[in-house]
Structure 1
Amino acid sequence: MKRVLVSVKSVQRDMDGKDLDGVKTTIKIHDDSIVLLRTGAVNMRHQYVRGEERESVYETPYGDLHMAVNTHELTVDFHEGVGHVHLGYDISVEGEWQFYNQLDIDVREDTEHGNEGNPEIGD
């Protein structure tokens, strides 16, 4: 296992983002899709597949919201655990299309720190 640096850039249009304190976000990257999981104060699972609309439920302390994502752009370019993901999608809440999002994720090897401090990797 190598140490990596992850950079995430997210853009939302037409609506302010919400406060996600106390929420853990996990992104699973596959060759042809992305899965975004949120757990904690809210719970959600979105799957993004280019050209497809996928529905999900956003569970909040105030009740559930039915959501859908329509993925327009998805590029996954990963080799040996490093690479780039670009995602562009529209999102709807309770059947009303709300706003467009872009997400760019860069993962690169941490050459400055290498294997330092990682007991799973030999020196």
Structure 2
Amino acid sequence: MSVEKNVKIKVISTICPIEGDEETYELWLQGVWLKKNGKMYLRYEEIIEDQTIRTTVKMNNDDALILRSGAVNMRLPFSTECKQNGHYDTMYGTLPLQTKTYHLGFEHVDEDNISGRFNVQYDLIISGQSVGHYTLEIQYTEGQA
């Protein structure tokens, strides 16, 4: 059995590159919270420079997965146990990525209204080298924006 609810989503992404200045992005989006086979997901779309990126976040306390498709095709898995292998598709081919997760947190409230918070802190590793430290926080609340 699956349950689906419309949610308002706030995404805060902070990037601390190895070289350069820290950048923080904040997005407010409309999306869908989904519970299927005991697993919880968020689905939302971003439109950047007239291109659509569809994102699915599989949320959990032990591991998580971000899948992006459309203008960007990417698979980013997270686990606090060990480094995880993912990929980023470019027009030149597929770039293998690794994530080293330092913190993974997921809180979900399912009382009158669905709400929750997912956050992950990780290093993004390309060709064996960390390119930066990333923090992603996603908050969601049942309802329309």
TM bracket (short chain): 0.7 to 0.9
Matched residue type, 1:53: K
Match for residue 11 of structure 1 among 11, 14, 29 = 14
- Highest CA radius of gyration, 1 or 2? 1
1:94 corresponding residue in structure 2: 127
Q: Could you tell me whether the CA contact under 8 Å between 1:41 and 1:61 is conserved in 2?
A: no
2:82 corresponding residue in structure 1: 52
**Cα displacement (A) at 1:2:** 4.1
Query: CA separation of 1:65/1:22 partners in 2, compared to 1, >3 Å: closer, same or farther?
Result: same
Q: Could you tell me whether the CA contact under 8 Å between 2:66 and 2:75 is conserved in 1?
A: yes
Query: CA separation of 1:61/1:77 partners in 2, compared to 1, >3 Å: closer, same or farther?
Result: same
Q: Which runs of 5+ in 2 are unaligned?
A: 24-47
Query: CA separation of 1:104/1:63 partners in 2, compared to 1, >3 Å: closer, same or farther?
Result: same
What SS does the corresponding residue of 1:52 show, helix, strand or coil?
A: coil
Paired residue total: 111
**Cα displacement (A) at 1:69:** 0.2
Q: Name the structure where strand makes up a greater proportion of residues.
A: 2
Query: CA separation of 1:62/1:41 partners in 2, compared to 1, >3 Å: closer, same or farther?
Result: farther
Q: Normalising to structure 2: TM-score of the pair?
A: 0.65
Identify the structure with bigger relative contact order (alpha carbons < 8 Å, sequence gap 6+): 1
Alpha-carbon RMSD = 2.5
Q: Could you tell me whether the CA contact under 8 Å between 2:98 and 2:124 is conserved in 1?
A: yes
Match for residue 71 of structure 2 among 33, 41, 60 = 41
Query: CA separation of 1:40/1:96 partners in 2, compared to 1, >3 Å: closer, same or farther?
Result: same
Q: Which runs of 5+ in 1 are unaligned?
A: 114-123
* Correspondences of 1:23-34 after superposition (within 5 Å): 23-34=53-64
Identity of aligned residues (%): 28
Q: Could you tell me whether the CA contact under 8 Å between 2:61 and 2:104 is conserved in 1?
A: no
